[in-house]
Amino acid sequence: MSLKDRRLAELRSRIPEIPAAAAHARQREGSLLVDVREDEETAAGSPAGALRLPRGFLELRIEDKAPDTARPILLICAGGTRSLFAAEDLKRLGYQDVGSVEGGFSAWKAAGLPVEVPPALDASQRERYRRHLTMPEVGERGQHRLLQSRVALIGAGGLGSPVAMYLAAAGVGRLTLIDDDRVERSNLQRQILHAESRLGQRKVESGRTALLDLNPTIEVVAQDARIEAANVLDLLGGHDVVVDGSDNLPTRYLVNDACLRLGVPVVYGAIFRFEGQVSVFGGGPAAQRPCYRCLFPEPPPAEYAPSCAEAGVLGVLPGVIGTIMAAETVKLLLGLGQPLAGRLLLYDGLRGEFNEIAVPVDPDCASCSGRAGPELRDLAAVCGA
């Protein structure tokens, strides 16, 4: 008997080998099935619902995917050999209930068990998104999720610029830019989506040019329109996340109420001079996610609102706040981490400080309390003299 045969025999004496049909039954009962073959092997097919984690990355990434060492794990490879060695590695890490699928993927297919063909990135996409693919929290599956995502971005100005640039770079498949303004020279101090060569263009067209130059593989929809009660549901419907980078209060209230009807989360941001704030509203159970009206039930009187004229803003401030808004959007799309729901993040640029305040759900909120929400209507402009 060769050294390899003796080694396999020794492993089989310690590692349970589970027939394919029994492994499928255990998977349905809650066991984690892990396909340890290489990406080029799983590209042709993998057991439906399996976690695809090549053996070379197994020890590095398994804790992120299976933090509970008591959960039963079944490993599958092409023919049942590599999975035995992988099972030994997991036992060494402290996993208590580990088995190998007998006969591997060949036996799985022969038994007629469900198989799925994972979507594959082409060579260009693999090169472009390589830093995402190496992250266990994102990986190929997460990148595909981004590529299939749809985000509506209200405002192609100061906040909208960094948000749009980073979402395009991340590979969000469809970005809808909504704005009814033109590019002016005074925008260029902070609105990095635009350029001197595009002065006078509609902002959505200028933004579309910049985004497709950055990432020509995504779709950018230019909506040259002002959001109003008559069009808000049509403009925002069909998106996974709405990013509100608008600069006026009536739009924020209208967007909040519309997105509650649509069941879409809103990533909110605001800036003024040296200060900014970010939060996430709606899009989840009311008991967990407040809406914009939970924080600001009604618009303030005009005399207390900042002037709608150029009040002034530090040019780099939209970059700070907009980048955080982009990060919150990606987290929502991928289902990662803790979104800023129920929390308002405050930034003071002069002091270089971040602070956070809690935003509880208002049980009497006119929009999200479970009662009939307010009628979608255009509020009068809220603007100081």
Helix, strand, coil distribution of the chain in percent, nearest 5: 40, 20, 40
Amino acid at 184: E
Instruction: Name, in order, each residue with C-beta under 8 angstroms of 92's C-beta and a sequence gap of 6 or more.
Output: none
Question: What is the DSSP secondary structure assignment for residue 153, as one 8-state letter?
Answer: E
pLDDT of residue 247: 86
pLDDT of residue 78: 95
Nearest to residue 221, comparing CAs of 159, 172, 282? 172
Name the residues annotated as catalytic.
308
Domains of the chain: 3-116 (3.40.250.10), 149-358 (3.40.50.720)
Residue 34 DSSP SS3: strand
Nearest to residue 187, comparing CAs of 6, 310, 9, 367? 310
pLDDT of residue 385: 39
| Global pTM value | 0.76
Number of H helices, E strands in the chain: 15, 15
Go through 286-322 and write b for each residue having 16 or more CB atoms within 10 A of its CB, e for each that does not. beebbbbbbbeeebeeeeeeeeeeeeebbeebbbbbb
pLDDT of residue 16: 95
Instruction: Name, in order, each residue with C-beta under 8 angstroms of 318's C-beta and a sequence gap of 6 or more.
Output: 157, 158, 159, 161, 162, 190, 191, 271, 276
pLDDT of residue 303: 59
Each of the 385 residues of the chain gets a pLDDT tens digit; together they read 688 788 888 889 999 999 999 999 999 999 999 999 998 898 889 999 999 888 988 888 888 788 899 999 999 999 999 999 999 999 999 999 999 999 999 999 999 999 998 777 888 999 999 999 988 789 888 999 999 999 999 999 999 999 999 999 999 999 999 999 999 999 999 999 999 999 999 999 999 999 999 999 999 999 999 999 999 999 999 999 999 999 888 899 999 999 999 999 999 999 999 999 999 999 865 457 899 999 998 887 665 666 445 578 999 999 999 999 999 999 999 989 999 999 999 999 999 999 999 999 998 888 887 655 567 877 765 554 3
Burial class (CB in 10 A: 0-12, 13-18, 19+), 362: middle
Number of Cβ within a 10 Å radius of residue 347: 19
Alpha-carbon distance 51 to 66, whole Å? Answer: 10
Amino acid at 267: V
Alpha-carbon distance 94 to 202, whole Å? Answer: 59
